[in-house]
Amino acid sequence: MKQPSLYIPHGGGPCFFMDPADPDRPHSDPMWQTMQDYLTQLVESLPERPRAMLIVSAHWEEPVLTVHKGDRPDLLFDYYNFPPHTYSLKWDAPGAPAVADRAAQLLRDAGFPVAEEHERGWDHGVFIPMKVARPQADIPVVQLSLRKDLDPQAHIAAGRALEPLRDEGVVIIGSGMSFHNMRVHDSQARTPSLLWHEALTDAVTDPDPHRRSACVAAWETLPEARFAHPREEHLLPLMVALGAGGDDVARVDYDDAVRGWPVSAYRFG
């Protein structure tokens, strides 16, 4: 059965695992609880258990698209100034080298140079949301990097190249945040973030897939775009998820407010 393509929020650092008395179970601050609830049911919401998860995180950029082929990567604790226990979290899902090879070949067939990685740990854009979504860590994972140029059209095209994986039991997940301006407070963010959120959601859920791709690729023209994303690395995983969505209808999969600004997840298919 065909798997969907998803763009999900991964929260802030290890935000779901802040209780030192029980560090490996999610215990969210109320601010993150609705997001935690969404992630908790994510795998169960799929049409069937996926063969693997291909995840594109906002926290890995390389000069060319890079596929992780490790058998069982360590974790990369790439967040700072959090409690000591959050640097010893465990999540030991296996890699999926065969799926990584297939993804790399699809990208090369579409004209992309592709590199391979074996040693890098999974960053928190992978293991934090997936530790909530699948704490038993029993579904293989492949991580794909962003490209450092953050070219929207290129990332949409990469997603299109990867769409066949969905028919092969692989769910494609872009992990980022639909609003990512950490320097603003509630009162500053409320109005501009709502304008951005409404425009982004209208673009992503446009029923015409060609117009949808064009609008999202031109994201900088949307209201308050650079307020929402001073740098766009947390938005680019959406481009891959959208491309992998092909012509499938898109819908809002999650919608909430965090610190006064809206955050959404989107599902294609």
For residue 183, count CB atoms less than 10 angstroms from its CB and return exposed for 0-12, middle for 13-18, buried for 19 or more.
Answer: exposed
User: What is the C-alpha separation between 43 and 29, in angstroms, rounded?
Assistant: 22
* pTM assigned to the model: 0.96
pLDDT of residue 25: 85
pLDDT of residue 107: 99
pLDDT of residue 243: 99
For residue 185, pLDDT beyond 80: no
Average pLDDT in the 243-259 region? 95
Q: Print burial letters for 63-87: b (CB count within 10 Å at least 16), e (below 16).
A: eebbbbbbeebebbbebeebeebbe
For residue 188, pLDDT beyond 90: no
Task: Please provide the average confidence, as pLDDT, over all residues in the chain.
Answer: 96
Q: In the chain, how many domains are there?
A: 1
pLDDT of residue 54: 99
DSSP H or E segment with residue 210: helix 209-217
pLDDT of residue 168: 99
Count of other CB atoms within 10 angstroms of residue 29: 12
For residue 255, pLDDT beyond 90: yes
Percentage of residues in the chain having pLDDT higher than 90 = 89
Average pLDDT in the 154-173 region? 99
Residues 6+ apart with CB under 8 A from 97: 69, 70, 71
Average pLDDT in the 15-44 region? 90
**What is the domain range of residue 211?**
5-268
> Tokens 């763009």 map to which residue?
7
> Tokens 């990369």 map to which residue?
76
Residue-wise pLDDT for 209-249, tens only, equals 999 999 999 999 999 999 999 999 999 999 999 999 999 99
pLDDT of residue 119: 94
Average pLDDT in the 93-117 region? 99
CATH number of the domain within which 74 lies? 3.40.830.10
pLDDT of residue 38: 98
Instruction: Return the ∠ at Cα 233 (arms to 232 and 234), rounded to 5°.
Output: 90
